[in-house]
Amino acid sequence: MQPNEERIAALCQDVALQPDSAPAYCALGAALRDARESHRAIPILRHAITLESENFDALLCLGGALLDVHQTDEALTVLRQAQNLRPSSPSLHNLLGSVWISKDDLPAAITCYRQALSLNPMYTDAMSNLGLPIFLA
């Protein structure tokens, strides 16, 4: 078994042992997304949110997974829910910027990446991402 497969198998066992645990489902969904299996992660992350509607990490990960499968409108809706919970999250603003890039809205993307950097000036992902829309603009 590959390391990702072993991790996913272990997390599946955690979910089986803790069927009412939103964090367990969130961890499994995140691992699936990390393994580039966002299509499998989406229903698992949705279930985590059903169990705990204000689970910021599950919302953030679901937004990213939806973006991965090009469901940008739904990703934006989910990320706005996450933004209501934690508006000062740099990773949230960075991911919102990526959604706007996918929707070809460069000004909105630049605004989001700048917001991420204003919250964390050393956030290298946002620095890198900000360079792309400025270059394209």
pLDDT in tens, 46-61: 999 999 999 999 999 9
Say yes or no: 5 and 62 in one domain: yes
- Say if residue 19 is in the same domain as residue 64: yes
| Residues contacting 13, CB < 8 A, separation 6+ | none
Nearest Cα neighbor of 62 from 95, 94, 87, 89 is 95
pTM: 0.91
How many structural domains comprise the chain? 2
Name the nearest CA neighbour of 79 among 115, 123, 107.
115
Q: Which two tokens stand for residue 67?
A: 């973006």
Q: Which domain holds residue 3?
A: 1-69
44 neighbors 29 (Cβ within 8 angstroms): yes
pLDDT digits (tens, 9 = 90+) for 82-100: 999 999 999 999 999 999 9
Q: Are residues 51 and 3 in the same domain?
A: yes
The phi and psi torsions of 33 (rounded to 5 degrees) equal -65, -40
Cα–Cα distance between 47 and 33 in angstroms, integer?
15
